Amino acid sequence: MKSICLFFQIHQPFRHRRYRFFDIGNDHYYYDDYSNESIIRNIADKSYLPANKLLLDLAKKMGNKFKVAFSITGVALEQFELYAPDVIESFQKLTKTGCVEFLAETYSHSLSSLKDIDAFTDQVKKHDDQIFRLFGQKPRVFRNTEMIYSDEIGEKVAKLGYSAMLTEGAKHILGWKSPDYLYVNAINPRLKVLMRNYKLSDDIGFRFSDKNWDKYPLTAEKYVSWLEKVGEKEEVINLFMGYDSFGTRQPKEAGIFDFLKALAEQVVKSDTLRFSTPSEVVDELQPISVVSVPHAISWSDEERDLSAWLGNEMQKEAFEKLYAMKEQMARCTNAELHKDWNYLQASDHFFYMSTKYFSDGDRHRSYSHFDSPYEAFINYMNVLSDFKIRLNTHVPESEVENEIALLHRMLEEKEEKIKKMEADLRRLQKTKRQKTTSRKKK
């Protein structure tokens, strides 16, 4: 039987407010709380909550015949805890059914795997700890930000102890080979590689409600017939997509939830198909060969490369300036700075700076809350400049900065003393007035 590996990814960044040049050094709060809460609540109500309710009903009805996997970033989970705790509760209910596997991720959906192994390791460990705290699972399988993968990144992931990694079944990598098998990393064959069947995945994730699509309308019966017609020797069909495909990208009115329910029922009834989690695929199937990926790939855009995040000079400059601070951050013990450092690493900030206005331009613009990629770049660099000032205060880079930091701390201490003295003065004045009033009454 062919395994159907159904995987959903969830990520929402902490979006920055409009942070002006004159805010640098004066205002250290970078986030648009109103937008963040509104977006999380909206997508939770339209997508995550109804989809989780449906999956819970399917799991209860079908038992261990229904399986699904999730990769949820740490920053998304943080926002659920802040703005939509009912989403966390719904995932915890799903977890108790035994049908769900949670995968490892970078905490803030960062590009750290491309730059710094220590920052990458810290992000992954932080995410693992959060998954265990909320859902009681220790992830075995890794899914990198935007499914970014290369032989070298795979080797790093293997050294962190993961048994497998998910990535894109990119045509220019596989050539004549099929994504519907289990592969191994070219450097460390102990790491198994599951490759997304992008055509069948995108039929649901992107084309389901497109009335101009020649296969529209897509029914569960039609889709399962496609799954069953995949070559007899193929062993696993990896259907990987964003969870917001259900209810947001593909609206409820288009019938996407009914489709998901019918799809699960059709697969369970099939004599040739079954649901499996990534870990089950890794445990049960034998890899057929090595997959060689010398240069990093992703699941984004036509090129399936890194150009969505690092394709222009603005993106590269912002990326380099961010990670130029990694050594200082390694010496930093300030909790607030570490929190902002994690949020600053989110790949979304670089995505907003993309100038790809051709085949993928509309999609890039639709995800950004900035009017242009240039505005996104300026805003991010302003935030980064303020962050650098704060970091230099706590972890000076040079003797000059050390003296400046010392003077800055002395000024802060003096300001605190002045505030305390002013408060004491107001208290004494108030006491004196009360005594004067009391004497006059007598």
What is the DSSP code (8-state) at residue 178?
-
How many Cβ atoms from other residues are within 10 Å of residue 90's Cβ? 21
- State both tokens at 243: 């969870």
For residues 44 and 270, what is the distance between their CA atoms, to the nearest angstrom? Answer: 32
- CA 71-76-77 angle, to 5 degrees, is 85
Any idea which residue has 């690092």 for tokens? 310
Q: Which amino acid is at 92?
A: Q
**Dihedral pair phi/psi, residue 354, rounded to 5°:** -65, 140
Looking at 78, 101, 146, 168, which residue is catalytic?
146
Q: Are strands 182-185 and 192-196 parallel, antiparallel or unpaired?
A: antiparallel
Any idea which residue has 């029922």 for tokens? 265
Bond preceding residue 189 cis, omega within 30 of 0: no
Which residues, 6 or more positions from 38, have their beta carbon under 8 angstroms from its beta carbon?
A: none
Burial category of 35 from C-beta neighbours within 10 Å (exposed 0-12, middle 13-18, buried 19 and up): middle
| 232 labelled catalytic | no
Q: Which amino acid is at 174?
A: L
Q: Which amino acid is at 292?
A: S
Q: Is 302 helix (H, G, I), strand (E, B) or coil?
A: coil
For residues 204 and 223, what is the distance between their CA atoms, to the nearest angstrom? Answer: 9
Catalytic residues: 146
